[in-house]
């Protein structure tokens, strides 16, 4: 065994486990959500509600994270659906990370429900690493009330792959000498950083397992998939060179959000309110990452599922919500043909840390002042919750003031990582 020992610790069905603990502890339910077909998801009456987390028995019905709630209900008519409460998840995540810091000299949080622990050199204190991982897993269950999987290896990639083996409440190893037996027989879809599109392209050239990729010429893979091909070829051979965290930390090239409405939108006022809620979220994410964008686009899908989009390039970079919104409104008015709308999206691109301004006679320092106001609002929301301050037009409105995808989960995670709450 190498001197380097890395744990990857992943909470099993985190949102559902944390929700179940809270409901049991506060008398909101006598039934443990983990013991029945249950999911955490959005409002099931709204078409954009999706599954955020699922119980083992829900998984047995073929329910997947990310699928629409309506589809999940068809698979399991007696499915229990619980709306998410991200404040609960943030508090549980904090407790999880703090416990890990009691045992590991280096803890690197990877997401709201998973972390890497560098346990190198801890054998004298904790004993044999695999046996200690079992004790740590059990301590997390006893003290915090939820289960985890722990993957152990000599680098982050292999530790993360190991933690994804059989669940829940397990410890798995994937050391370099175990790669041929444990990693290579797995389907190519299971390899970290291989998405559906890449998987299908690999299968077309005869690569069906991780071992197939590992034994294919690097030059061939590089010629077909460029830099991405080189990365996944190294992953298939168990090499990470710390690329996981570097890739994760890399700045987004673009930021976007979209929402499928739970009714057909036929009036401009409602459409613009939804547009504003999406711009609120996009702007907040940009400022959190200290990035600026110079391209803005609007996407629409009408009631007959016809797609249309329009984009423009700005003369100045920005992360100001109002600038993004004003530009999005201009694009919307050029794009919309008054057909009933089913989906509205706002996306931005050419993101980076460089900031340049080109003032004109009409706005002068307007957006500079609004930018400072945005930052003050961000600070209040980070400290007291995103619902602590909202625009007046969203009060008593059916439209959430910050919308789009898994926005609340991601923003709760960002707030946790930045240490605001």
Residue 356 confidence (pLDDT): 58
Catalytic residues: 114
Report the sign of the C-alpha dihedral through residues 198, 202, 203, 205, in that order.
positive
Q: Does residue 131 carry a pLDDT above 90? A: yes
Q: Give the mean pLDDT of 165-186.
A: 96
* Least confident window among 47-51, 206-210, 274-278, 302-306: 47-51
Band of the pLDDT at 58, cuts 50, 70, 90? very high
Q: Does residue 247 carry a pLDDT above 50? A: no
* Least confident window among 13-22, 214-223, 305-314, 321-330: 305-314
User: Domain locations in the chain?
Assistant: 1-177, 184-244, 254-417
pLDDT tens digits, residue range 206-219? 999 999 999 999 99
* Superfamily per CATH, domain 184-244: 5' to 3' exonuclease, C-terminal subdomain (1.10.150.20)
CATH code given to domain 1-177? 3.30.70.270
Residue 399 confidence (pLDDT): 61
Looking at domain 254-417, which of 3.30.1360.200, 1.10.3720.10, 3.30.1490.100, 3.40.91.10 is its CATH number? 3.30.1490.100
């Amino acid at each position: 065994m190498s001197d380097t020992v890395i744990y990857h610790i992943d909470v099993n069905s985190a949102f559902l486990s944390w929700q179940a603990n809270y409901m049991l502890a506060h008398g909101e339910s006598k039934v443990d959500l983990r013991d029945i077909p249950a999911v955490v998801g959005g409002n099931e009456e709204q078409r954009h509600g999706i599954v955020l987390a699922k119980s083992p028995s829900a998984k047995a019905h073929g329910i997947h994270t990310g699928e629409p709630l309506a589809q999940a209900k068809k698979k399991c008519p007696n499915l229990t659906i619980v709306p998410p409460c991200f404040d609960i998840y943030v508090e549980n995540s904090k407790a999880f990370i703090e416990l890990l810091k009691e045992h590991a000299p280096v803890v690197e949080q990877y997401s709201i429900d998973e972390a890497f622990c560098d346990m190198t050199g801890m054998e004298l204190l904790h004993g044999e690493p695999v046996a200690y991982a079992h004790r740590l897993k059990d301590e997390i269950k006893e003290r915090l009330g939820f289960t985890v999987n722990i993957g152990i290896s000599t680098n982050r990639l292999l530790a993360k792959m190991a933690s994804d083996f059989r669940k829940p409440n397990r410890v798995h190893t994937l050391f370099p000498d175990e790669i041929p037996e444990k990693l290579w027989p797995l389907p190519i879809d299971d390899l970290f950083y291989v998405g559906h599109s890449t998987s299908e392209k690999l299968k077309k050239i005869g690569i069906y397992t991780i071992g197939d990729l590992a034994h294919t010429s690097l030059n061939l893979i590089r010629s077909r998939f460029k830099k991405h091909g080189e990365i996944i070829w190294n992953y298939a051979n168990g090499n990470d060179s710390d690329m996981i965290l570097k890739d994760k930390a890399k700045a987004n090239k673009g930021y976007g959000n979209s929402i499928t409405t739970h009714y057909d939108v036929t009036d401009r006022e409602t459409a613009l309110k939804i547009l504003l809620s999406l711009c609120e979220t996009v702007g907040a994410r940009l400022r959190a990452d200290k990035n600026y964008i110079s391209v803005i686009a609007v996407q629409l899908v009408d009631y007959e599922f016809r797609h249309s989009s329009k984009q423009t390039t700005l003369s100045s970079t920005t992360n100001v919500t109002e600038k993004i919104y004003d530009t999005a409104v201009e694009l919307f008015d050029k794009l919309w043909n008054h057909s009933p709308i089913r989906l509205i999206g706002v996306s931005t691109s050419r993101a980076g840390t460089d900031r340049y301004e080109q003032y004109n006679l009409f706005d002068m320092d307007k957006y500079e002042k609004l930018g400072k106001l945005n930052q003050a609002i961000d600070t209040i929301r980070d400290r007291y919750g995103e619902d602590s301050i909202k625009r007046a037009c969203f009060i008593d409105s059916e439209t959430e003031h910050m919308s789009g995808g898994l926005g609340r989960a991601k923003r709760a995670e960002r707030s946790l990582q930045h240490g605001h709450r």
